[in-house]
Structure 1
Amino acid sequence: MNISRQLRGLAYQVFYGLPLPVRRHLARAISPKFLVGAVAVIRDSEAAEPGRLLLLRQPSSRGWGLPAGLLKRGELPAVGAARELFEESGVRIEPGDLRPGNPNAILHPNAANVDMVWFGWVPASTTPLVVDGGEVLEARWWPLDDLPALTWPTARLLGIYGLGPKAGELPPSVPAADAAPTRPASA
């Protein structure tokens, strides 16, 4: 048995000999921390393929982005996505009507952020868009084959799901056919 294996075994014995509250405190102190957000990819249920996508223009960005934000403590990801969608665009979708992307969680490169991605469909012609003019300057439907300049995170995220200008850059573990959920039959 080598020395590093013995030391590791001893460290585990010491750790598991500590009281549970102390072990939890130590684990939280040394574990990586992530901010968890929710992203809503909302498509026009009335548009013919390739369809239209709801995008937002925010004062802090140099391009258009998706409705998104951080989850509140204890908030379920679909609930957070529906809340952020409504707060930023005025579009109301029930959390149960959102479908998870595949993959559902996207880790941002070089950052400690994880986004839970949800897809939804609404009829654009009868769904009013309402923005506050502060956090969001403009909300608009864009044809998927003629998108405006996107923020880098938005272009990357859409590309993972086979949408937008980076559609060909899918990770090898996600088949293109399985990435973005298709429109539900009832939409």
Structure 2
Amino acid sequence: MRALRLAAFRAFYRLPFRWRRRLVRMGSVHYIVGAVTIVRDADAESPGRILLLRQPPGPGWSVPGGLLNRGERPIAGAARELAEETGIRLPIDRLRPATPNAVVHTGGRWVDMVFETEVPADAPLDPDEAEVHEAAWHPLDALPRLTGPTARLLAHYGIGPLKAEDD
């Protein structure tokens, strides 16, 4: 068995770099990486409100976010997606990493980098009509129907129908 393994590695390292890289990528786990932002109403009294989006194709509500571009920093991607989907343009220093900052979904193949910010509810919203049907503020104690991934993500932060009972 050891001789077979040695022969396989020798053959592998004789291949051109481009082919070796392709073989490694074919055998490696692939991840989808996104960035999302939990946007709280800066002026709301307890229990507070968050900004949610109703997006196609489903009827549930979600937080602003999307996939990162190749080589894009997660915080920059979160700021870009927030601007694209809601019209709220914030410099990246207005976003802060949530705790936990990374949430792994669906069998470990999808990772969201999560950020938080506060914005006054009277900030003008200009949702991208191609991506967003509606953007609205919702009280934390009376959230609308959330998408499954959003409900699971928000539960990590003690928000929504799936949050732990002791929160």
TM range (shorter): 0.7 to 0.9
Structure 2 length normalisation: TM-score? 0.87
- Report the alpha carbon displacement of residue 20 of structure 1 after superposing the two structures with TM: 4.6
Aligned length: 166
Listed as ranges, the matches of 1:1-187 within 5 Å are 6=2, 10=6, 13-14=9-10, 17-18=13-14, 20-110=17-107, 112-125=109-122, 127-168=123-164
Gaps of 5+ in 2: none
Give me the CA root mean square deviation: 2.4
Deviates most, 110-119 or 86-95: 110-119
Tell me how far apart the structure 1 counterparts of residues 41 and 4 of structure 2 sit (CA, whole Å): 55
Distance 1:11 1:56, change over 3 A: farther
> Distance between the aligned counterparts of 1:39 and 1:24, measured in 2?
31
**What TM-score does the superposition give when structure 1 sets the normalisation length?**
0.78
- Distance (whole Å) between structure 2 residues aligned to residue 15 and residue 86 of structure 1: 50
Check conservation: 1:15, 1:23, Cα contact below 8 A.
no
Contact 1:51 / 1:143 at 8 angstroms: preserved in 2? Answer: yes
The answer to whether the 8 Å contact 1:40/1:67 transfers is: yes
Q: CA deviation at 1:32?
A: 1.1
Q: 1:11 to 1:26 in 2, by over 3 A?
A: farther
Residues 131 and 138, structure 1, Cα contact 8 Å, conserved in 2: yes
Aligned residue identity for 1:56: L
Give yes or no for contact 1:91–1:129 (8 Å, CA) kept in 2. Answer: yes
Offset from partner CA, 1:114-144 (integer Å, 9 cap, x none): 111111111112x111123331011001111
SS in 2 for 1:73: coil
**Structure 1 unpaired stretches of 5+:** 171-175, 177-187
Task: State which drifts further: 100-109 or 39-48.
Answer: 100-109
Looking at structure 2, the residues matched to 15 and 112 of structure 1 have their Cα atoms a distance apart, in angstroms, of: 31
Aligned-partner SS, 2:107: coil
Paired residue secondary structure (1:78):
helix
- Identity of paired residues, percent? 51
